Structure 1
Amino acid sequence: MDPPGKRRPPGEDDDLEAEAIKRQRISDGEEDEEGGGEEGTDAAALPGLAVYKDDDDEEEEGAGRREQWMGQENDRGETIENGGGQVRVGAGDEEVMEALHQKDASRPPAPVRQQRQVERRRDCPYLDTVNRQVLDFDFEKFCSISLSNLNVYACLVCGKYYQGRGLNSHAHTHSLEAGHHVYINLQTEKVYCLPDGYEIDDPSLDDIRHVLNPRFSREQVLHLDENRQWSRALDGSNYPPGMVGLNNIKETDFVNVTIQSLMRVTPLRNFFLIPENYQHSKSPLVQRFGELTRKIWHARNFKGQVSPHEFLQAVMKASNKRFQIGVQSDPVEFISWLLNTLHAQLRHSKKKDRSIIYDCFQGELEVVKEIQKKPLIEKNDNDDEENKVLVAEGGSSNDSVVRETSKVPFLMLGLDLPPPPLFKDAMEKNIIPQVPLFNILKKFDGETVTEVVRPCIARMRYRVTRLPKYFILHMRRFTKNNFFVEKNPTLVNFPVKNLELKDYIPLPPPKVKKKLRSKYDLIANIVHDGKPGEGCYRVFVQRKSEELWFEMQDLHVNETLPQMVALSEAYMQIYEQQE
């Protein structure tokens, strides 16, 4: 025993006990070795000695270190808990086992980690440091240092994203280095003061939460087209909600004009303004499209523009980089892919083949296909070319045509433009031809024949049997050959209001007690400017509440006249069915 008044330093008891066990095991091994034989040889294989292991708790205690005494396994023995580790001793070591049991009984129980209680305060002295002009929640929620998307906070002073708020986290370090103390969790929308760690409960921060995650009630959505008020951004500029510019990240104008056009489709917009309508879908593309829709129509944005960065990232991933940033693409191909992908990811099951996409845009065509059968060639005995006889399969030459009729659903219709003139006029200038929209719509009257060569030579007749609520028309201006892409400059004369289709397309009679709705109004018109493969896209859209037309090209939004819409080189149009 130690003399009274003299205390051993901490950790010396553990060292003495480890040394005692070591001597006991060595002595047991020597006795077995003296006994000889195979059993003694096996017993001579001593187990490893006890080792120490570090356990760092970075979240709660930083770099604190605890030593644990770990034992190894012997051929015979009993496992005893020792300070969080385990040690295995022989069956005859009663004294060592008793000493370890007494030590464990005298050791205080290990502390149980409890959930951290966060204080909530309203009197934060740093609220005046919040700078709303630098806040931008349009980009991906990644930490600017670790590039992690877990537990990300936005600094409300400088606008940068950082991960975590505990000790040694990037947000905690930034608060100490830069003196920025107010942070918002981008997932839970809770605001904290760092490094103090308390939650700020102040209603003056609600406008930031609404910009981070815009919300609409069902009543607000129903009266959205009746709102004529303009909103004011923090920089003093005015903008109409729903008519904000979209940032062109790099050659993404084909995405911008498509999004601006789809925002005029009222049922589609109303559906995506309420997240509960599509909460069953786990698709990132659906969620990002809904977020972008809510940001465009939000009336309390800090800026009069929105960046579709997160939506573009979801598009790149969902399309396997078929559409990507920095590569110009065709808006017709993009809207076709987008509508079909959204439909596939919105429907509840494969059996229920309905969604908001099909409810808005799906129509039906009757296609009559006439295929000429291959003739059989019979040769006479004299194998001359002149004496060949053509015999059609299945009988006489009158029966050599096979006619197939089918019903085909469609989301958009492609219209063929007449070829441009080959020669110049007397003034050495090319004549820009014009064609009425009704002339190129005759393709779908059920009588006009269209020759096709792929997949086989056939004569096609098309007739619209069911009109959709929103009619998408696509003018085929670009033609490809083996050498280059050619653009057709033909102007299409189309009405902006009251497009009557029943006078040019024979439609089936409506059902009982239903009125034939064949009148349409233009709501979006996409235009291509420049050479094929180059150039840019812009779009004319209508604001229903004021019946005004706006020309939109990326961030530029200008009011225009309806007559200017009709003079443009239309590439894709969306018509809305009149009630």
Structure 2
Amino acid sequence: MSSRKVKKEEEEAPDVADATDTDLPPTKKARIGQQSAGEEESSKRVPKKEEEVDDDGDEDEEAFGRRARRARRQDGTDDRSRRCPYLDTINRNMLDFDFEKLCSVTMSNQNVYACLVCGKYYQGRGPGTHAYTHSLEEGHHVFINLHTLKFYCLPDNYEVIDSALDDIKFVLYPVYSKDYIAKMDEIGKYSRALDGTRYLPGVVGLNNIKANDYVNVVVQTLNRVAPFRNFFLDTTNTRRIRDRLVQTMGDLIRKVNNPKAFKGHVSPHEFLQAITTSSKKQFRITEQSDPIRLLSWLLNTLDAKLSKHGHTVISDTFKGKMLVTSRKLPPTQDMQEVANIRIDPNAEEYKPKTTEIEYMFLGLDLPPAPLFHDELQQNVIPQVALFELLNKFDGVSSHEYKTYKDTVMKTFRLKTLPKYLIMHIKRFTKNTFFVEKNPTIVNFPVKNVDLSDYIAEEDKESGDSYQFDLLANIVHDGLPGPGKGTYRAHVHHKGSKKWFEIQDLHVVDMLPEMITLSESYIQVWERSPTPVEAPVKAMDMMKEEEVAGQAPASSTA
């Protein structure tokens, strides 16, 4: 600006002021003069500031920082947290939290986030991380931290707070109140998944990833045992137990009973991984195993882990006591002559010895299956009453057990009965070459089975109930041997008062009369809280069978 132009502006300025002097009071004239001088100085400073901004190469980064600071509240939260514009991009149909929480790029389980648009898992949320890069490349902005259950908007990197996202949090980590858990057996209401299918919480299908049907039936069975299920439904019981098997068991039980699930089935992938690791690969996803082996290992392992933290739910639910009387048999006279020895049969080692042991399963021995066809050249399918198998525990019947050098006769007598009684019907026998299966059908009522005849009179307590109702039934179909047959479960849902047949993802309701027609392998019986007036006893069951006829039923195999 030239000096001549500046002088001209200075000469013109008083003329403008003089023109207003006649109309304004003296005090206001002074304020106007100060205001005009301030405006002139600011007009001179603005170009200089703009020049400084133009010279700064980080204008975009500083502007973003200023906007973020202005949006941040005094209490540390972000104004954008409660008005995220990307919530409508969330696709709940793509969300699946049943699989292991690993980044899909690095396969790491540290600081993993799930994209709520495509359902994929990525690590981190800061600049340069895989979640951050995914948000820029794909335009997916809303993520959830799979460990803290907090929602974030990327790449802006602010926390999203909205009650509309609570259903996603509940699907990822369901939490139930103690009142709801206590009333769960009274609830028979169906829920509806996102695809419109109806399902009954607690009776949902489990995905068979490869050959894990033997795991699925065990989970379905244990889920019907109320003390076991309620213990794992309450997150306060397992929150401080840093064990993967315990944590995944609780997560699976809570998801199976979720009334707000997005889909009507659950994948036990994380639980299967925990079983494989904890059992040192005794049980695998890719190879079918025996469910009784898994059930025995699982209950004993969980009992050992939980007892370290003062929890005895497994022992209190499944364990009972029995008296076992053992008597070692002396060698026969021929064997003594061959060995040139003489043994006194009244020696101390050949006297009966009675011991008290704890049990979690009752092993029931089936009678040998017929070897020949009947007169119609059809395979005979024999039948036997459940009470005949239970006579093993009457304290009178002796059973022979042989080892490579000794023969022991044993008698069994039940001393106490647990709240939930597990029966193992021994259908499979192994020899050197192959596995054989006994197809004998076991007849049993599903309610009011009285087992008081197998308890000694001195062990009975007045007022106690010795009657049991069937709760779950595991069935084996097909040929014996790993991978040659399949397993399915019959379970009773108290809330709906219905029986269901579950085989992996297939769930159908059924009549209780159809249960006895199957080849039962494992049964779980629930002890009735109070005795009923007309229980079904062993003698009554046998008389009914005598009236019905002695000949076994025949059918084409």
Do Structure 1 and Structure 2 share a fold, with TM-score over 0.5?
yes
More strand by share: 1
One-letter amino acid of the structure 2 residue matched with residue 460 of structure 1: K
One-letter amino acid of the structure 1 residue matched with residue 426 of structure 2: R
For residue 173 of structure 2, the aligned residue among 188, 193, 213 is: 213
Match of 1:571 in 2: 521
Match of 2:217 in 1: 257
Match of 1:392 in 2: 343
1:356-395 correspondence runs (5 A): 356-373=313-330, 391-393=342-344
- 1:545 partnered with 2:492: no
1:294-443 correspondence runs (5 A): 294-348=254-308, 355-373=312-330, 391-393=342-344, 401-443=350-392
Give the 3-state SS of the residue equivalent to 1:167 in structure 2. coil
| Cα deviation, residue 125, structure 1 | 1.1
Quick one: distance in 1 between partners of 2:333 and 2:472? 53
CA contact (8 A) 1:145 1:170 kept: yes
| Cα deviation, residue 508, structure 1 | 4.0
Quick one: distance in 2 between partners of 1:316 and 1:419? 35
Offset from partner CA, 1:539-571 (integer Å, 9 cap, x none): 000010121000000000000000111211100
- 1:471 partnered with 2:421: yes
One-letter amino acid of the structure 2 residue matched with residue 531 of structure 1: L
Match of 1:86 in 2: none
Offset from partner CA, 1:283-318 (integer Å, 9 cap, x none): 110011001111011100000000000001110000
More helix by share: 2
TM-score (norm 2): 0.78
Quick one: distance in 1 between partners of 2:460 and 2:413? 16
Quick one: distance in 2 between partners of 1:280 and 1:163? 25
For residue 530 of structure 1, the aligned residue among 460, 466, 478 is: 478
One-letter amino acid of the structure 1 residue matched with residue 92 of structure 2: R
* Distance verdict in 2 for CA 1:166–1:367, change over 3 Å: same
Quick one: distance in 2 between partners of 1:390 and 1:447? 32
Q: Which protein has greater RCO, CA pairs closer than 8 Å, 6+ apart? A: 2
| Cα deviation, residue 397, structure 1 | 5.4
Segments of 5+ residues of structure 2 without an aligned counterpart are: 1-60, 62-75, 530-557
CA contact (8 A) 1:438 1:504 kept: no
1:58-97 correspondence runs (5 A): none
Aligned-residue RMSD, C-alpha:
2.2
For residue 149 of structure 2, the aligned residue among 181, 185, 189 is: 189
CA contact (8 A) 1:434 1:492 kept: yes
CA contact (8 A) 2:112 2:122 kept: yes
One-letter amino acid of the structure 2 residue matched with residue 573 of structure 1: Q
One-letter amino acid of the structure 1 residue matched with residue 122 of structure 2: Y
Quick one: distance in 2 between partners of 1:305 and 1:345? 29
Quick one: distance in 2 between partners of 1:204 and 1:410? 50
Offset from partner CA, 1:320-374 (integer Å, 9 cap, x none): 000011100000000000000000000136xx7x610010000111000001246
Give the 3-state SS of the residue equivalent to 2:169 in structure 1. helix
Quick one: distance in 1 between partners of 2:245 and 2:304? 11
* Distance verdict in 2 for CA 1:508–1:574, change over 3 Å: farther
| Cα deviation, residue 391, structure 1 | 3.0
Segments of 5+ residues of structure 1 without an aligned counterpart are: 1-60, 62-116, 380-384
* Distance verdict in 2 for CA 1:452–1:189, change over 3 Å: same
Match of 2:127 in 1: 167
* Distance verdict in 2 for CA 1:432–1:375, change over 3 Å: closer
One-letter amino acid of the structure 2 residue matched with residue 251 of structure 1: A
One-letter amino acid of the structure 2 residue matched with residue 415 of structure 1: L
TM-score (norm 1): 0.75
- 1:520 partnered with 2:495: no
Quick one: distance in 2 between partners of 1:376 and 1:509? 40
| Cα deviation, residue 454, structure 1 | 2.6
Match of 2:188 in 1: 228
CA contact (8 A) 1:154 1:161 kept: yes
Match of 2:39 in 1: none
State how many pairs are aligned. Answer: 452
CA contact (8 A) 2:111 2:145 kept: yes
Quick one: distance in 2 between partners of 1:468 and 1:135? 41
One-letter amino acid of the structure 1 residue matched with residue 198 of structure 2: N
Quick one: distance in 1 between partners of 2:349 and 2:267? 59
| Cα deviation, residue 257, structure 1 | 0.2
State percent identity of aligned pairs.
52
Offset from partner CA, 1:246-296 (integer Å, 9 cap, x none): 000110000000000000100111111012112342211001100111101
